[in-house]
Amino acid sequence: MQRAPTSPERISVALGLCVVMLATLPRYMAGGHETRQTLIIFALALVAFAAIVQWRLLAVEARRRLPQLCKRLVVMLLLGMVVMGGWHALFTDWISWQVFISHGATLGVLLHALSLWWSGERHAG
């Protein structure tokens, strides 16, 4: 079975990666890591460009699914923030807000991607 080269699920994950990269910028700005900051900005531009190209390749009916997937992404990002907040409150000394949002966004996108994979596996089998 041939898979489509693009899907709204892939685009939602790419948008999530953009959010993660944006969430890491304050961390690198506060730490004075200009080289990492520049690399993140370049990577952000590349992933955003790829997401736009993939969106343009989507069929109209697939584009209609994207808003719902973006809502799901936002829910997972919020869940990632809550879980990381709880984790850091229970198991670590408080870290900076820059590290907190970076960790929370990363966990949220990971949860989003895993939930897409899990629901895809469930519907395929």
Share of the chain above pLDDT 70, in %: 93
pLDDT tens per residue, range 36-88: 999 999 999 999 999 999 999 999 999 999 999 999 999 999 999 999 999 98
CA separation for the pair 125, 121 (Å, rounded): 6
Contact 73, 112 (CB under 8 A): yes
Report the C-alpha gap between 9 and 1 in whole angstroms: 18
| Distance in angstroms (rounded) separating the CA atoms of residues 13 and 115 | 11
- For residue 115, report the phi and psi dihedrals to the nearest 5 degrees: -70, -35
Q: Note the pLDDT tens digit of each residue in 8-44.
A: 999 999 999 999 999 999 999 998 999 999 999 999 9
What are the boundaries of each domain within the chain?
Answer: 8-122
